[in-house]
Amino acid sequence: MVAAALDRPGLRLTAAELIALRPPPRSGRARPASRRPGAIPARTAGQGMDLREIRAFTDGDDIRRIDPAATARTGQLHVRSFHEDRDDTTLLVADFRHAMLWGTVDALRSVRAARHLARLGWEAVARGGSVGLLVAGDDGPASLQPNTGAAQMQAVAVMLAARHDAALLRRGKAAALGPVIAQAQRIAPPGSRVHLATGPDGLEGTDAALARLARGRTVAVHLILDPAESAPPGRVLSVSAGGTARRGLLAPHDPAPQLALLRTLGIEPHVLAS
């Protein structure tokens, strides 16, 4: 059980706060129930479920696509053309390892990461896509297979909160992120989106794994910066670690080199600094 001192907003993550991030419903045509979960119509013609156009028959067209009404009305063969369905699966990857469990203002970096991922998940559900979850922790990863609907996002919120509680109680050797990224490659199908939220110090040794994950997928890395990293106070501070204490000025973190490296790996880099 989480200690009372940690049971405060910004320190302890709750499912309720993540569920409350759900945006208001948008008007518009709902996704047909006959389409497989997590698939949405692409703009190119194909074998999907959404009608793209009715046009005159040409050599090579599938006769099973002939539209009887248009053919009878015009006296010429007409066929139906459909949008091609593409996979709209979003995998959220939250880093709850020990290095993410700190913060200097109103929330731990891990809490801010979870809130950001929850917003992305709700956006995916709103457009009819499926959402899955993978949590990196020092006690090993935990995952939730992709599925659609608000109930799935509620399950994502519950798992994020539970795994964050476990991370707050965990004391042990720090785990590497590389194996978690490899697991993301197995969960996220080709054509899917992957959103990884971690700190600028969380990607060590992951270049090769990230490059493999980005093959055939849209991968975004969201670097969560604490205000002390992005805009440190301009005064001398005392910093202690174990039995060592030092005084000095904190330099702001410059993410530019890391962002450039991520782009060379085929990754979309983002910085969340507030």
The domains of the chain are located at 4-23+88-233+249-272, 39-86
- pLDDT at position 84 is 52
Average pLDDT, the chain: 87
How do residues 196-219 score in pLDDT, each as one tens digit? Answer: 999 999 999 999 999 999 999 999
**Which of 124, 102, 120 lies closest to 111 in space, CA to CA?**
102
Q: What is the CATH number of domain 4-23+88-233+249-272?
A: 3.40.50.410
How do residues 121-131 score in pLDDT, each as one tens digit? Answer: 999 999 999 99
154/236 Cα distance (integer angstroms): 44
How do residues 96-109 score in pLDDT, each as one tens digit? Answer: 999 999 998 899 99
**Residue 44 exposed, middle or buried by CB count within 10 Å (0-12, 13-18, 19+):** exposed
Please give the model's pTM, rounded to 2 decimal places: 0.78
Cα dihedral angle (251, 256, 259, 264), rounded to 10 degrees?
-140
150-159 contacts at long range (C-beta below 8 A, 24 or more positions apart): 150/22, 150/125, 152/125, 153/19, 153/22, 153/118, 153/121, 153/122, 153/125, 154/15, 154/19, 156/18, 156/92, 156/118, 156/121, 156/131, 157/15, 157/16, 157/18, 157/19, 157/118, 158/15, 159/133, 159/135
Roughly what angle, to the nearest 10 degrees, separates helices 109-126 and 150-169? 170
**Which of 217, 148, 150 lies closest to 184 in space, CA to CA?**
217
Give the pair of three-digit tokens for residue 195: 């959103």
Mean pLDDT by 10 residues, the chain (274 residues): 75 96 73 48 50 79 86 89 71 96 93 98 95 96 96 98 94 88 96 96 96 96 94 82 81 93 97 88
**Which of 189, 182, 256 lies closest to 216 in space, CA to CA?**
189
Is 4:155 a contact under the CB 8 Å cutoff?
no
